[in-house]
Amino acid sequence: MLTLEDVRIEQGAFRLAADFQIPAGAIVALLGASGAGKSTLLDVIAGFLAPKSGRVLWQGQDLTPLAPGARPLSVLFQDNNLFAHLTAAQNVGLGLRPDLRLTADQKARVEGALTRVGLGGLGARRPAALSGGQRGRVALARMLLRGRPLMLLDEPFAALGPALKADMLALVADLARETGATVLMVTHDPADARAIADQTVLVADGVAHAPRATAALLADPPPALRAYLG
Amino acid sequence: MLMLSLGTLGAVLWRAEGPGALNGADWSAVRFTLGQAVLSSVLSVALAVPVARALARRRFRGRGLLITLLGAPFILPVIVAVLGLLAVFGRSGLISSMLAPLGLGPIDIYGLEGVVLAHVFFNLPLATRLVLQGWLAIPSEQFRLAAALNFTPRDVARTLEWPMLRSVLPGALLVIFLICMTSFAVALTLGGGPGATTVELAIYQAFRFEFDLGRAALLSLVQFGLSGVAALLAFAIAVPGVFGAGLDRPLTRWDRDSAVRRIMDGLWIVLAALFLIVPLGMVVLHGAAGLPHLPGTVYWAALRSLAVALGSAGLTLALALPMALAAVRLGGGRGAALQAAGTLSIAASPLVMGTGLFIMLFPLADPMRLALPVTALVNAAMSLPFALRALTPAVAEAEAGFGRLADSLGMTGMARLRLMLLPRLRRPLGFTLGLSAALSMGDLGVIALFADPGHATLPLQLYGLMGAYRMQDAAGAALLLLMLSLGLFWIFDRGGRAHADA
């Protein structure tokens, strides 16, 4: 269970408050207008930004003092998810060892992860020689190997076309189900939330609201969400 | 780095005689140092303005090549250029032999004329590049607007060009002034005598001929004071980067042109190109004859120089990379201060550092035996400002693009350096290694203080050959040195560019 315990974020004039829990294994969307603070909240959970006050806990363990790489989570950013100078296999291998000193067995696991996301045999390619969707798959393969229980997605597929984005989200949902991971994904598109998220956190007016069932929330939107949806 | 600059200064302070010990010759050295630096920088910049203007507004075949060539003197060994200049302007040079049939005596450039000539040779190209950067930084829309308002060339100069020059020229003057103040090899080869001795040359003479360490130390303090004042000035005036990119784009202008203007521009470009190319051409021409018959000592000296150059390149990187990483990690004011500390050594004097190191090493070991390592170390310190200017922005860019990804994957320490930073720094690393190796290869500074003939580097050996009037051997050695310096730069810089993907 991920717990945001009375978290308060301040960045200049920007303020955001969050105080809720997300059950383990859930797929949760963070929905809101751009500038509402969705990515900022993700940064706090991932450890790139310290909250003004409050704590972030995973299964009761306080994450606040931990460095980003030491937290039980993996992140996909909006861009720059792969090192351009490393091959796809090396990028995936970083999920096993950050210094890339892999054993033969670990190399086999890298190839297995690439095959699982549909990129078998493409391990030697550099990101520049892969399509946008394939790059997303490489990043997901790395996430799979890291095996951290929490997956944070900061709209990594926003630049893809609608069909490709739907494929990638379906792959995320599959991987999450296989590994039992909890997923928190930022989106500004209600269709994304509807596609794979059983629950949705509405971020608006300086508050990240407690998660609600996505279908119910979108069927009967509160005023802030209604204003956003138009 | 601080150890190197302040530690050596401390050693110098400890050995220096009281300031009352400065004699008349010393004061005349101070006057000459300042005088030649002012004259050289003013001449370089004054000549650079018309050349840069011509390059900015004309398109012609070979323009890109000429602009690349303007960057070359920076890595050109001083002594090679001096030999080339003597072949053109010396007593038995091209110009003297052309004057002879007219009954005019040979011209003699030893002394102030020669020192200033060599400094202009080295710094006119640098000044031209700096001023050209200024010209190309004026948005072409402004020239279009000027044309729409029917400006005369005089109006364009007043409203657009003069304000640009006012902001660019002080920095260019200062950089060249600093370079000329600490350029030892030019004074060593073309200066000398009571009327044309710089402070650095006086340090060398006190050290080498009188073996008067106290006086050498005192003169080092004087040099340090001069550099210090100049460095303070550098904080007040923004010193421009020496390596600007994107000078290939000619300026599009709509203001009226005339045949006279075209001819004048062409003349400036041809004169500047000849001034650069002819001396180097003479080195190649004379050297080609001497190269096959070089004595073995020259090749040994070349090997020692290669070792020093490679060592110095490695040291430069070992100093610059941690400094660049720290500057980026600290960010903000402290990072900028660290970078400024590195940049300051542009005003530092290799001879002062050499004297300090000699005083520090003397009780511990025979400094003569350590001549080569000391030379590599001081050369590395002199390359540091350029290395930092190349590396720091590249580190900042790599961290901005991939720092969070590396953080999220727990890549720290060596893994981060090896897998994230070094691959993304290949180009600036190659450039830095090439530049520092070439600068060290051609350096004739500290080595002159320390080395005995048995441990001479190639530039020192070349100086010895010139002194012994073995001109054919000297020409051959000069060509060898030229090829090695340019070759080192080319190999490293090329290595950084090869397969530098994304």
pLDDT, tens digit (0-9, with 9 covering 90-100), for B233-249: 766 665 555 444 455 55
Domain end call among A127, A147, A167: A147
CA B427 to chain A, closest CA, distance in angstroms equals 13
Q: A84 vs B501: CB contact, 8 Å cut-off? A: yes
Average pLDDT over residues B446-475: 88
Count CB neighbours of B497 within 10 A.
Answer: 12
Q: For residues A77 and B347, which has the higher predicted lDDT (pLDDT)?
A: A77
pTM comes to 0.81
Cα–Cα distance measured from residue B5 to residue B340, given in angstroms and rounded to the nearest whole number: 14
Cβ of B453 under 8 Å from any chain A Cβ?
A: no
Average pLDDT over residues B32-40: 94
Q: How confident is the model at residue B252 (pLDDT cuts 50, 70, 90)?
A: low
CATH architecture of B293-502: Orthogonal Bundle (1.10)
Q: Are B125 and B71 in contact (CB under 8 A)?
A: yes
Q: Are strands A199-204 and A27-31 parallel, antiparallel or unpaired?
A: parallel
pLDDT at B254: 58
CA A125 to chain B, closest CA, distance in angstroms equals 12
Q: Which residues of A touch B402 (CB under 8 A)?
A: 80, 83
| Helices marked H in B100-161 | 112-137, 140-148, 153-156
Q: Are A34 and A188 in contact (CB under 8 A)?
A: yes
Identify the residue whose tokens are 């096993």.
A96
The model's pLDDT over B146-185, given as tens digits with 9 standing for 90+, comes to 777 778 778 888 888 888 898 889 888 988 888 888 888 9
* Three-state SS at B297: helix
Q: B405 vs A83: CB contact, 8 Å cut-off? A: yes
- Do A139 and A157 lie in one domain? The reply is no
Cα–Cα distance measured from residue B116 to residue A174, given in angstroms and rounded to the nearest whole number: 75
* Three-state SS at A203: strand
Average pLDDT over residues B437-462: 88
Contacts of residues B326-331 at CB distance under 8 Å and 24 or more positions apart, as own/partner, are B327/B388, B327/B392, B327/B395, B328/B392, B328/B395, B328/B396, B328/B399
> Which of A83, A97, A102 is the best substitution to test chain B (most B C-beta atoms within 10 A)?
A83
pLDDT at B339: 64
Per-position b or e across B119-152, b if 16+ CB within 10 A of its CB: bbbbbbbbbbbbbbbbbbebeeeebeebeeeebe
Domain end call among A147, A171, A198: A147
Average pLDDT over residues B269-285: 93
Cβ of B414 under 8 Å from any chain A Cβ?
A: yes
The enclosing H or E element of A53 equals strand A53-58
B352 pLDDT more than 90? no
* Three-state SS at A106: helix
pLDDT at B247: 56
Q: Which residues of A touch B401 (CB under 8 A)?
A: 80
What's the mean per-residue pLDDT of chain B? 84
Q: Are A24 and A212 in contact (CB under 8 A)?
A: no
- Do A156 and A91 lie in one domain? The reply is no
pLDDT at B258: 78
pLDDT at B499: 59
B390 pLDDT more than 90? no
Q: A86 vs B419: CB contact, 8 Å cut-off? A: yes
Q: How confident is the model at residue B80 (pLDDT cuts 50, 70, 90)?
A: very high
B431 pLDDT more than 60? yes
State the angle between helix axes of B371-408 and B332-344 in degrees (0 to 180), rounded to the nearest 10.
Answer: 160
Per-position b or e across B348-375, b if 16+ CB within 10 A of its CB: bbbbbbbbbbbbbbeeeeebeebbbbbb
Identify the residue whose tokens are 């119910």.
A216
Average pLDDT over residues B480-501: 84
Tell me the residue type at B17: E
Q: How many CB pairs under 8 A join A and B?
A: 65
Whole-angstrom CA distances from B347 to B19, B245, B383, B401 are 22, 24, 12, 34
- Do A35 and A101 lie in one domain? The reply is no
Q: Which residue in chain A is spatially nearest to B500 when comparing CA positions?
A: A85
Cα–Cα distance measured from residue B178 to residue B33, given in angstroms and rounded to the nearest whole number: 11
pLDDT at B347: 62
Q: B414 vs A99: CB contact, 8 Å cut-off? A: yes
- Do A63 and A153 lie in one domain? The reply is yes
Cα–Cα distance measured from residue B499 to residue B18, given in angstroms and rounded to the nearest whole number: 58
User: CATH assignment of B48-286?
Assistant: 1.10.3720.10
Quote the number of domains for chain A. Answer: 2
Query: Across B57-61, B130-134, B301-305, which has the greatest mean pLDDT?
Result: B301-305
- Do A38 and A48 lie in one domain? The reply is yes
Listed in sequence order, the residues at least 6 apart from B130 whose beta carbon sits closer than 8 Å to its beta carbon are B48, B168, B171, B172, B175, B240, B242, B244
CA A221 to chain B, closest CA, distance in angstroms equals 35
Q: Which residues of B touch A81 (CB under 8 A)?
A: 405
Q: Name the segment(s) of chain B with CATH classification 1.10.3720.10.
A: 48-286, 293-502
Determine what percent of chain B is predicted with pLDDT higher than 70. 88
Per-position b or e across B479-496, b if 16+ CB within 10 A of its CB: bbbbebbbebbeebbebb
pLDDT at B209: 85
B500 pLDDT more than 80? no
* Three-state SS at B411: coil
Cα–Cα distance measured from residue A116 to residue A95, given in angstroms and rounded to the nearest whole number: 15
Determine what percent of chain B is predicted with pLDDT higher than 90. 34
Listed in sequence order, the residues at least 6 apart from B32 whose beta carbon sits closer than 8 Å to its beta carbon are B112, B191, B195, B196, B197, B198
- Do A189 and A171 lie in one domain? The reply is yes
Cα–Cα distance measured from residue B337 to residue B331, given in angstroms and rounded to the nearest whole number: 10
Cβ of B419 under 8 Å from any chain A Cβ?
A: yes
Nearest to A149 by CA among A23, A42, A40: A23
Per-residue pLDDT of chain A (230 residues), as tens digits, is 999 999 999 988 899 999 999 999 999 999 998 889 999 999 999 999 999 999 999 999 999 899 988 999 999 998 889 998 899 999 999 999 989 999 999 999 999 999 999 999 999 999 999 999 999 999 999 999 999 999 999 999 988 888 999 999 999 999 999 999 999 999 988 999 999 999 999 999 999 999 999 999 999 999 888 888 87
Q: Are strands A207-208 and A14-22 parallel, antiparallel or unpaired?
A: parallel
pLDDT at B382: 86
pLDDT at B458: 94
Q: Are B235 and B40 in contact (CB under 8 A)?
A: no
* Three-state SS at A183: strand
Q: Which domain holds residue A105?
A: 81-147
Whole-angstrom CA distances from B21 to B26, B204, B214, B215, B216 are 9, 17, 10, 8, 11
pLDDT at B318: 94
Cα–Cα distance measured from residue B358 to residue A4, given in angstroms and rounded to the nearest whole number: 64
pLDDT at B385: 83
* Three-state SS at B13: helix
- Whichever domain contains A204, its CATH number is 3.40.50.300
- Do A58 and A134 lie in one domain? The reply is no
Q: A68 vs B404: CB contact, 8 Å cut-off? A: yes
Q: For residues A194 and B347, which has the higher predicted lDDT (pLDDT)?
A: A194
Predicted ipTM?
A: 0.83
State the angle between helix axes of B259-290 and B112-137 in degrees (0 to 180), rounded to the nearest 10.
Answer: 130
Cα–Cα distance measured from residue B197 to residue B25, given in angstroms and rounded to the nearest whole number: 9
pLDDT at B245: 46
Instruction: Read off the DSSP letter of residue B75.
Output: G
Q: Are strands A73-76 and A150-154 parallel, antiparallel or unpaired?
A: parallel
- Do A224 and A179 lie in one domain? The reply is yes
- Do A92 and A134 lie in one domain? The reply is yes
Listed in sequence order, the residues at least 6 apart from B335 whose beta carbon sits closer than 8 Å to its beta carbon are B326, B327, B328, B329
B489 pLDDT more than 70? yes
Please state the φ and ψ torsions of residue A3, each to the nearest 5 degrees.
Answer: -120, 125
Q: A69 vs B414: CB contact, 8 Å cut-off? A: no
Domain end call among A121, A147, A173: A147
- Do A90 and A36 lie in one domain? The reply is no
B106 pLDDT more than 60? yes
Cα–Cα distance measured from residue B241 to residue B386, given in angstroms and rounded to the nearest whole number: 9
pLDDT at B502: 40
Q: Which residues of A touch B415 (CB under 8 A)?
A: 98-100
Q: Which residues of B touch A77 (CB under 8 A)?
A: 404-405
